[in-house]
Structure 1
Amino acid sequence: MFRALVSVLLVISAGPAAAAQLDAASINDAAAPSAKPSRHDQTSASIARLEILLDRAHFSPGEIDGKLGENAQKALVAFADSNGLSFDKVVTTDLWNKLSASSDGAAIVNYEIAEADVKGPFLKKLPAKMEAMKSLPALGYTSPREALAEKFHMSEALLQAINPGQKFDKAGETIAVANVLVSGNPAPAARVEVDKTRQTVMTYDTADKLLAFYPATVGSTEKPTPSGTLKVTAIQKDPTYHYNPKYRFRGVKSKKPFTIRPGPNNPVGSIWINLSAEGYGIHGTANPGKVSKAASHGCVRLTNWDANTLAASVKRGTPVSFVGSQRGT
């Protein structure tokens, strides 16, 4: 078990690279972030590389955006602690070296856009309200850029920044992307732990070794998650979303049940891990940038890619324990 994450605020600087153009070379050549006060909303080549390394080590920073946000900080703390390294608000040489040695290959690589990436169909706009989604034939991406950003675990803003002028709509063109598809899935999980306070999901093996870490949105004060230990009962890829009026979700006025068709922008994303409590599960999301930053309707929300990775690590019967207290939102 790794130490508490509460009140951890890093003071890592974006460094000189922040002012330079953000591109593949600057990210691949980036050294460890320096230990100076920094704005956590500032994009940095060294932070982008750090996030990619964390992702490949199965300590997900959530959406890779080049910023030292809460999710990247939580992943970094978990990685340091699980490797027995000292950590006090600074990426030490030992920590950076351990992270760099955890996987091989450049942080940013070239990728040739495939026909499937631009084929669609794409939504003109994702409706904000659930009720407006029920008439759509599918809840696909809104653009090839969104599809490619999610494929490589990136924010659309970072993908665009390292590919200036690219429209991402022509097969055969080469773009720069985060090199995150080389690490495969973590080892099968003996158990899953959902921390309501820290807004995290972690998997462990039979020896209680931490295998993988994911930032999460875990319920809300209005719709809290369960307590105690549940079990995985089913895993459904590309789920159809079923709304029941008894849920009484804020902003949904329908008094009748309705369904929303599958797709990555479905309210539960591209995967549903059903739990042994009616109506509760672990699932993906249409808004990866809001994981840990917005309330859920009682379930556990991950990025689509993290939810799919978790689904590959669990099976029917895997215990899922809920610890901590519900964080107010």
Structure 2
Amino acid sequence: MLPLPLPELPPLIQSASMDSLMGALADVPVDLRQQKGRHIVLMRGRRRLLLLDSGTLRGAFPVAVGMPGWETPTGRFKVLNKINQPIWVHPVTGHRVVEQGPDNPLGSHWIAFHRDCLGRDAHDGDRWITIKGCTTTGFHGTPHRWTVGRAVSHGCVRLYNEDVKSLYRQVNLGTPVTVLP
């Protein structure tokens, strides 16, 4: 099945000054700036997500990234799945913790881009936990707006709900994702 065509949208600049956007864009490697088609570039250190389309900046969003010990993975990935109104499942117990709604830690939309099946032992801030099986890292909204712009997550990338909704509409399964340090 072919992916749905992506909407034609004018360049979209959100939540940043032109100077900071030009600085962020200048830090994107030339090959990514010249890449054909839509792709997501996450600048983990700048805590900024850029949506590029054949060299045109379509979106720029502030984000929260993984905290020390739970860093958002770097590398080249692709959008694996998209879920409108996701349900959060606890990574250790596998239980559904929060159903859809305003208190869901995933916010209104989920865009997965990395799957890890190695498991891990890690500290969650209060205690050591063991995660067995596969975990998925993605972009999602958050009811905790104050976290955006910080390194506070367990590896996922948090956006304001209105920003993840915009991103969700503009990408398809298979859209390339590059996470820079």
Match of 1:297 among 154, 168, 171: 154
Question: What CA distance in whole angstroms lies between the structure 2 residues aligned with 1:220 and 1:311?
Answer: 24
TM normalised by structure 2 equals: 0.70
Match of 2:67 among 207, 216, 220: 220
Question: What CA distance in whole angstroms lies between the structure 2 residues aligned with 1:81 and 1:275?
Answer: 25
Aligned partners of 1:59 and 1:212 also within 8 Å: yes
Change (3 A) 1:287 1:294: farther
Aligned partners of 2:76 and 2:177 also within 8 Å: yes
Higher strand share: 2
Of structures 1 and 2, the one scoring higher in RCO (CA 8 A, sep 6+) is 2
Cα shift readout 1:45-87 (whole Å, capped 9, x = no counterpart): xxxxxxxxxxx973222xxxxxxxxxxxx444245669xxxxx
1:275 deviation in Å? 1.4
Q: Specify the alignment match of 1:280 in structure 2.
A: 137
Q: Which has the larger radius of gyration?
A: 1
Question: What does 1:167-186 align with in structure 2 at a 5 Å threshold?
Answer: none
Aligned partners of 2:47 and 2:64 also within 8 Å: yes
1:218 deviation in Å? 1.4
Asked if 1:210 corresponds to 2:57, the answer is yes
* SS across alignment from 2:78: strand
Cα shift readout 1:104-135 (whole Å, capped 9, x = no counterpart): xxxxxxxxxxxxxxxxxxxxxxxxxxxxxxxx
Q: Specify the alignment match of 2:33 in structure 1.
A: none
1:283 deviation in Å? 0.2
1:294 deviation in Å? 5.0
Question: What CA distance in whole angstroms lies between the structure 1 residues aligned with 2:73 and 2:137?
Answer: 8
1:288 deviation in Å? 1.6
Change (3 A) 1:274 1:196: same
Match of 2:163 among 299, 306, 313: 306
Question: What CA distance in whole angstroms lies between the structure 1 residues aligned with 2:21 and 2:174?
Answer: 27
Question: What CA distance in whole angstroms lies between the structure 2 residues aligned with 1:322 and 1:284?
Answer: 18
Cα shift readout 1:20-66 (whole Å, capped 9, x = no counterpart): xxxxxxxxxxxxxxxxxxxxxxxxxxxxxxxxxxxx973222xxxxx
Q: In structure 1, give the amino acid aligned to 2:19.
A: V
Question: What CA distance in whole angstroms lies between the structure 1 residues aligned with 2:102 and 2:83?
Answer: 13
Asked if 1:235 corresponds to 2:82, the answer is yes
Query: Where in structure 1 are there 5+ consecutive unaligned residues?
Result: 1-55, 62-73, 83-188, 246-255, 325-329
Q: Percent identity?
A: 29
Q: Specify the alignment match of 2:94 in structure 1.
A: 257
Question: What CA distance in whole angstroms lies between the structure 2 residues aligned with 1:209 and 1:58?
Answer: 10
Question: What does 1:61-76 align with in structure 2 at a 5 Å threshold?
Answer: 61=15, 74-76=16-18
1:233 deviation in Å? 1.4
Query: Where in structure 2 are there 5+ consecutive unaligned residues?
Result: 1-9, 25-36, 116-134
Asked if 1:270 corresponds to 2:103, the answer is no
CA RMSD, Structure 1 to Structure 2 (Å): 2.3
Cα shift readout 1:236-258 (whole Å, capped 9, x = no counterpart): 0110111121xxxxxxxxxx332
Aligned partners of 1:219 and 1:300 also within 8 Å: yes
Cα shift readout 1:266-317 (whole Å, capped 9, x = no counterpart): 0111100011324100000011233113511101100000000001110000
Question: What CA distance in whole angstroms lies between the structure 2 residues aligned with 1:194 and 1:295?
Answer: 16
Q: Specify the alignment match of 1:77 in structure 2.
A: 19
Question: What CA distance in whole angstroms lies between the structure 1 residues aligned with 2:154 and 2:17?
Answer: 24
Query: Aligned residue pairs: how many?
Result: 141
Q: In structure 2, give the amino acid aligned to 1:59.
A: I
Q: In structure 2, give the amino acid aligned to 1:274.
A: A
Aligned partners of 1:75 and 1:213 also within 8 Å: no
